Amino acid sequence: MPVLAVVDSCWVHGVEGKPVRVEVKVQDGLPIFTVVGLPAGAVRESKERVFAALAQTGFRLSPRRVTVNLAPADLPKSGSGFDLPIAVALLAARERVSRSGLGGTAFVGELGLDGSVRPVRGAIALAMSCREHGPARLFVPHGNLIEAAAVPGVEVMGIRTLRELIGILDGDIGFRPQRHRAPVAVLRCPDLSEVRGQGLAKRALEIAAAGGHSLLMSGPPGSGKTMLAKRLPGLLPPLAESECLEVTRVHSVAGLLDSEEPVKTTRPFRAPHHTISAGGLIGGGNPPRPGEISLAHLGVLFLDEFPEFGRQVLETLRQPIESGEVHIARVRQTVTFPARFQLIAAMNPCPCGMAGDNCVCGVREITRYRVRLSGPLLDRIDLQVWMDPVTWDELARTRADGTTSGTVLQRVIEARARQAARFGGDHGLNALLPADRVMKLCRLDPAGARLLDEGVRRYGLSARTVHRTLRVARTIADLGGRSDIGEFDVAEALRLRAGSGSRDALSPAGRTD
Ligand SMILES: [Zn+2]
């Protein structure tokens, strides 16, 4: 007589936790162990780990024919977290563990050959799946406990060994779920006041932070581009509780959480090297794992030496910048990763980096260098500033000008509140304003309208550039607390767009937009 046992579990698809039923059928016949339901990778190897762990725990099961079904079978399933539910179902099928404790409970964990229960990737996504689809109780490896318990509304229990779990299920070991601990965002970021000079670039950084605009800083080495970029996370509002969970989830799925910080409470800052591949940047592999743009979700993606990145690599950024997510297609499945990041790019003015009088580059070298930036991507960067090197004089003279990250952050928070009120509650930012709403929501006063009109006539600005200028001007007015966009807001937006007199340096191959 075949015996059937069913145990609830969950697994990670992209960054989403999905419920799965692990059905185990044990029947007489040749001792064959089969897993069906589109198992992939580590799932297929679970047999060895499960039987070794069971034997080590004192359960030597007589050889029978075992079929494991992972239902539903619509998507290929990967990961090592199925070991534990398979082991529990096997024991239940053989009446070696009480079935009464299995209802309303999901199990996830990788088994070691010695019967230990090892952490899995994406535990927080699994807890989120339980909150959404049930069951309400979840057993996870002890190493994943803090991370999973950050999700409210789920009873999470951490176990270290298979023996411990069996003791709990049989009622021999008393046990209480981990108390839910809500993550609290912390600000841990170098302060803006440590950067001397560079008033214009600091102002651009503040506008970028307030409206979610992308920014390109151009200047010779030593002008402080990297220093400034690293301070942007400190100018952005602290993560909300749900955002902490979102950031943690991406890092957990990527296998990048450490025990030092099991729940992410700071905005990410990612600075991949320019030799990175397209897969490394937007995500790749099979099963797909998040790339740098998703690890920068709700934080900052800093691309230093911007023109040195592969052209194809940069092209892959265009779609995620607009949609805030990235789709990765594989056989039988497409995975979507979140990618709402703020792009900060930096570049030297020419290959040697010196610019001006000290430059040793030929005209052709410089042209080739700038042409590498694709027009359409540069088109999506709202703010562009030129940075001169800070002179010794300036360093000595300029005392810290009193602009701390804290004072800027306060202005940014107020400007964002004005945007939220205007967009009717959703946390939209000016940078993401769709073209068809720009004209309606970016109202100009008469002087502002006149100046923009003049700009259009004098520089032949395209419709796209006008929209981008308006979005930036809207943010500048929001920082100043003005309901209509004025003349000075437009003037500053135009200046920050043109790169402050270094239009030549910033428009590759003489592009004028
Ligand atoms: Zn040069």
Q: How far apart are the first and last CA of the chain?
A: 76
Find the 365 Cα to ligand 1 centroid distance in Å.
Answer: 8
Find the 77 Cα to ligand 1 centroid distance in Å.
Answer: 52
Do 112 and 5 form a contact (C-beta atoms < 8 A)? Answer: no
CATH 3.40.50.300 fits 192-510, yes or no: yes
Find the 285 Cα to ligand 1 centroid distance in Å.
Answer: 38
Find the 353 Cα to ligand 1 centroid distance in Å.
Answer: 5
Cα–Cα distance, 361 to 333 (Å, whole number) = 48
Find the 220 Cα to ligand 1 centroid distance in Å.
Answer: 9
- pLDDT at position 380 is 79
Find the 304 Cα to ligand 1 centroid distance in Å.
Answer: 17
CB-side exposure of 246: number of CA atoms within 13 Å?
Answer: 17
Find the 218 Cα to ligand 1 centroid distance in Å.
Answer: 13
Find the 229 Cα to ligand 1 centroid distance in Å.
Answer: 23
Give me the residue spans of the domains in the chain: 3-169, 192-510
Measured from the Cβ of residue 210, the count of other Cβ atoms closer than 10 Å reads: 26
Find the 202 Cα to ligand 1 centroid distance in Å.
Answer: 25
Whether omega for the bond prior to residue 262 falls within 30 degrees of 0, making it cis, is no
- pLDDT at position 399 is 60
State the burial class of residue 359 (Cβ atoms within 10 Å of its Cβ: 0-12, 13-18, 19+).
middle
Find the 232 Cα to ligand 1 centroid distance in Å.
Answer: 28
Find the 30 Cα to ligand 1 centroid distance in Å.
Answer: 74
Find the 498 Cα to ligand 1 centroid distance in Å.
Answer: 21
Find the 359 Cα to ligand 1 centroid distance in Å.
Answer: 4
Q: Are strands 333-338 and 325-330 parallel, antiparallel or unpaired?
A: antiparallel
Find the 357 Cα to ligand 1 centroid distance in Å.
Answer: 9
Find the 223 Cα to ligand 1 centroid distance in Å.
Answer: 15
Q: CA 511: distance to chain centroid?
A: 32
- pLDDT at position 374 is 60
State the burial class of residue 284 (Cβ atoms within 10 Å of its Cβ: 0-12, 13-18, 19+).
middle
Find the 499 Cα to ligand 1 centroid distance in Å.
Answer: 19
Find the 113 Cα to ligand 1 centroid distance in Å.
Answer: 60
Please enumerate in sequence order all residues whose Cβ is within 8 A of that of 172, keeping only pairs 6 or more positions apart, or say none: none
Find the 267 Cα to ligand 1 centroid distance in Å.
Answer: 35
Question: pLDDT (tens digit, 0 to 9) for every residue of the chain, 513 residues total?
Answer: 778 999 999 999 999 999 999 999 999 989 899 999 988 878 888 999 999 999 999 998 888 899 999 999 888 898 889 999 999 999 999 888 888 878 899 999 999 999 999 999 999 999 999 999 989 999 999 999 999 999 999 999 999 999 999 999 988 888 888 888 888 888 788 999 888 888 899 999 999 999 999 999 999 888 899 999 999 999 999 999 999 999 999 999 999 998 888 999 999 999 999 999 999 999 998 889 999 999 999 999 999 999 889 888 988 998 998 889 999 998 888 999 999 999 999 998 888 877 677 788 888 888 888 777 766 777 778 999 988 877 777 666 656 567 899 999 999 999 999 999 988 766 689 998 888 889 888 999 999 999 999 988 988 888 888 999 999 999 999 999 999 999 999 999 999 975 433 434 333 333 333
How is domain 3-169 classified at the architecture level of CATH? 2-Layer Sandwich (3.30)
